[in-house]
A and B are shown apart, each in its own frame.
Chain A
Amino acid sequence: MLQILNKTPTLICILLVMCFWSDASIASNRYYADNTLKPTNGFAWDWSAGAGYYIEDSYLVGMDSYNDGLELDLNLAISYDRFYLDIDHSQLSGGVIIGYSLIERYDWELDILGTNVQAGFDETGLDFYNTGTIDELEGILSRKYDFNTGLRLTRRFQNSQISVEYLHDISGTHNSWVINTFFSHILPWKNWEFRSGVGFSAYSDDFTNYYFGISPEESKPTRPIYETGTSGSIIFEFHAEYPLNRHWVFLTGVLSTWFTNEISNSPIVSQGYQHKAMVGVRYVF
């Protein structure tokens, strides 16, 4: 046990590095809240680390339609009054979000926030662990991670909430807007917690063309120039979480994302959907 404790800083360093090198696809700020619980006042924080086994059917061309593996994750959540910071690398994707509640009145809330929406990728694909070039993606320019700021309006219910976000990239990556809407619901049953959600996102034409367009310099006979307009996606997800003991939790979940034709017709996209599933454990410090 002492040996494990001695190695903890090394493990944390590895997890922190991996946290910022996520293999996310399109992500939304999918918030859940159990509004029946009394919120913690003042400063509050927790962090956790874990590992999970995942399988996914990715939408990028050249990526294995049955991709699986083991991934580590790190999560840090800090809140102080109206300020909150969430670093979340959870099994398959994640990122960082920083926010501040401008208005909290009745069951409505208006937040200002900054977050990553789309993970970058290059000719090695979305898989962080893959360092080799994928033939079908060979020669494409690197797509960078974006960072967006904007406003989120939320209406809270008992175990549910619905939110609408308007975000704009400030990193210079695509320099355009993204709109996210998401409805989430938490269902506690015994010691289990079941979370389900559905969301719709709209992406500007600049966003869509930056990530899924094909420029003249990227084109080749098997990869024609591609330019399109505003796009969208619909997300369905389901999670289950169960406490194994004071520090360990069991997690499982599935996520399905369906893209509009503007994305699915891209020469670097193989299909109009993406499915992911995972099981894992997490240690909460």
Chain B
Amino acid sequence: MYSKTLTLVLCLLSTKSLVVSAEQIEQSDFVAIPDTCVALREGRNCYADIEINWQRPEIGNYCLRDATSKHIMQCWLRQKSGQFHYAFDSVETIAFELINSDSGKIIAKTHVQLQWVYQNRQKKRRWRLF
């Protein structure tokens, strides 16, 4: 019975891998990896080390910015690809934009989605382990 239970647990775990597949990377030229941050409880900040990758067909001047605040996070001069490491620390989903710094035009968008395990934030939880 224990072996069956263990098998079931491992099967379910394998269906929800945290790793973003290589196929997904190839489909887009502006991606955040991982694209999801999972916090334990709704209302808590979520933390993750995010790698943002972009590539364009032509060399140019590009900037990465926060889609909401429009805060510029990094710019690249005469490049056609780039990478940025971002320490995600947020209580909500964050969207990013890749812009052409010469024209200000938005070229691509991506985001890191925030999820949580426990949505019930009731205060009287027994959160008991034993």
Q: How far is the CB of A251 from chain B (nearest CB, A)?
A: 6
Complex interface: chain B residues within 8 A of A92 (CB) = 129-130
| A242 contacts chain B at the CB level, 8 A cutoff | yes
Do A40 and B120 contact each other (CB < 8 Å), given the known contacts A4-B11, A86-B126, A255-B130?
A: yes
User: When the two chains form their complex, are residues B15 and A33 in contact, meaning their CB atoms are under 8 A apart?
Assistant: no
User: When the two chains form their complex, are residues A33 and B9 in contact, meaning their CB atoms are under 8 A apart?
Assistant: no
Choose among B9, B120, B129 the residue with the greatest number of A CB atoms under 10 Å from its CB: B129
User: When the two chains form their complex, are residues B130 and A97 in contact, meaning their CB atoms are under 8 A apart?
Assistant: no
Residue of A nearest to B115 (CB): A246
| A195 contacts chain B at the CB level, 8 A cutoff | yes
Complex interface: chain B residues within 8 A of A246 (CB) = 16, 36, 38, 115-117
Complex interface: chain A residues within 8 A of B117 (CB) = 243, 246-247, 249, 284
| B21 contacts chain A at the CB level, 8 A cutoff | no
Q: How far is the CB of A107 from chain B (nearest CB, A)?
A: 11
Q: How far is the CB of A51 from chain B (nearest CB, A)?
A: 5
Interface residues in B1-60 by Cβ distance below 8 A to A read 2, 5-6, 8-9, 11-13, 15-18, 36-44, 46-48
| A188 contacts chain B at the CB level, 8 A cutoff | yes
| A44 contacts chain B at the CB level, 8 A cutoff | yes
- With A and B bound together, what is the CA distance between A239 and B126 in angstroms? 12
How many chain B residues touch A (Cβ–Cβ < 8 Å)?
40
Do A11 and B129 contact each other (CB < 8 Å), given the known contacts A38-B43, A38-B121, A40-B122?
A: no
Interface residues in A122-153 by Cβ distance below 8 A to B read none
Complex interface: chain B residues within 8 A of A35 (CB) = 123
Complex interface: chain A residues within 8 A of B18 (CB) = 244-245
User: When the two chains form their complex, are residues A101 and B124 in contact, meaning their CB atoms are under 8 A apart?
Assistant: yes
| A58 contacts chain B at the CB level, 8 A cutoff | no
- With A and B bound together, what is the CA distance between A99 and B125 in angstroms? 11
User: When the two chains form their complex, are residues B16 and A281 in contact, meaning their CB atoms are under 8 A apart?
Assistant: no
- With A and B bound together, what is the CA distance between A73 and B119 in angstroms? 20
- With A and B bound together, what is the CA distance between A111 and B15 in angstroms? 42
Beyond A4-B8, A248-B13, A276-B130, 5 extra complex contacts between A and B, CB < 8 Å: A92-B129, A193-B41, A243-B38, A244-B16, A281-B13
Please list 10 pairs of residues, one from A and one from B, whose beta carbons are closer than 8 Å in the complex, sorted by A's number: A31-B124, A32-B126, A44-B121, A77-B120, A84-B122, A193-B40, A243-B38, A243-B40, A255-B129, A281-B13
